Chain A
Amino acid sequence: MGEAIVITSGKGGVGKTTATANIGTGLAMHGHKVVLVDADIGLRNLDVVIGLENRIVYDIVDVVEGTCKLKNALIKDKKTEGLYLLPAAQTRDKTAVSSEQMTTLINELKEEFDFVLIDCPAGIEHGFKNAIVAADKAIVVTVPEVSAVRDADRIIGLLLANEVSYVRLIINRLRKDMIDAGNMLDIDDTLEILSVDLLGIVPEDSDIIRSSNIGEPVIIKAESPSGIAFRNIVARILGENVPLMELKKEPAGFFASIKKLFSRKQV
């Protein structure tokens, strides 16, 4: 029996979908059977981030309404062995699936997969409630920014109130230059306010955008700082005790860009 982990944040745009795609890919790279569930019905995005957007025939609403069997809707990733996607519907909205239907579906997936990762939509209404209803654990993603942390706090409160007691935090998009200058909340500030255990940190990294452009999760790239961060997060999920990575400054300025141009491939 596998476990269902919901990846949530409250605020939109902090990196839930990217985290879901990378953590899922990482777990599959370790040999586990992983299914990614896009619970953001009406605004599907997990498919595009993973690069499977052109393989969608059926989606989660088709499964729940009986139009097709679950196995017909699951898309097997050709680049990473053991990784599957259950896409969201694009032309319906979040009320198309009920909590009971979601629970049945997730439990069915738990029988076949080691990890069921649920990409939660932003907000706290129906979509959020559905995404957490069958979750065993939760990963809350936040960025070190006032409104995101406030929303994360609300979300943590709701998770605990809804019997998801295992909650871990990922702090995304950290910028060492801003933290050093005192212009960004650092890790300790954020943990002090949220009072929850840290799963990992991910530095701000332009490779994330490049990876999203080509539909390949950044964890596959061995040298990217954010890829390394996600690998560490996956290792911790699997029980390893990995120390937090050191944040490095991203080079800036004209000459640094020239240096980058001649030392790295363009993709």
Chain B
Amino acid sequence: MGSWANFIQKLTGKTQTKDVAKERLKFVLFHDRSEIPPALVDVIKDEIIAVLDKYLDIDQTKMDVELTRLDDDTRTTASALVASIPIKGVKKLQ
């Protein structure tokens, strides 16, 4: 049945629920192992935006704050907070 499923997927372009499950599971396990609450990153992101917004003109639509695994081996639970923030300009301080 596996090859049928793949064939149908290519035809219809629809995702299998197991792929959704795999992604969600990776997310959950990463957060469980690093002991960082999943939504904390969003909270941090909002606060970073607030601070930067005081001094810099940043492109909020293109910014990205992400919790990722440190490189090297896949067994590490060490994580890194990686922020990528495009700066459009410097704000004039009052």
Contacts and interface: CB of A to CB of B under 8 A. Distances in A.
A64 interface: no
Interface of B: 1, 4, 8-9, 12, 14-18, 20-21, 24, 27-28, 32, 35, 37-40, 43
Interface-centre pick from B18, B20, B43 (highest chain A CB count, 10 A): B20
Given A48-B28, A261-B4, A56 B39 contact: yes
A57 B14 contact: no
Give the secondary structure class of B's interface. Answer: helix
Interface residues of A, number: 21
Contact of B39 (A57, A90, A91): A57
A179 to B, nearest CB: 26
Nearest to B17: A213
Contacts of A48: 24, 28
A214 B16 CA distance: 10
B14 A90 contact: no
Contact of A213 (B8, B21, B43): B21
Contact of A267 (B15, B32, B35, B38): B15
B14 A266 contact: yes
A130 to B, nearest CB: 22
Contacts of B15: 267
A126 interface: no
Contacts of B32: 90-91
Contacts of A91: 32, 35
Given A55-B39, A266-B8, A213 B28 contact: no
Contacts of A210: 17
A214 B38 contact: no
B37 A56 contact: yes
A264 B36 CA distance: 39
Contacts of A93: none
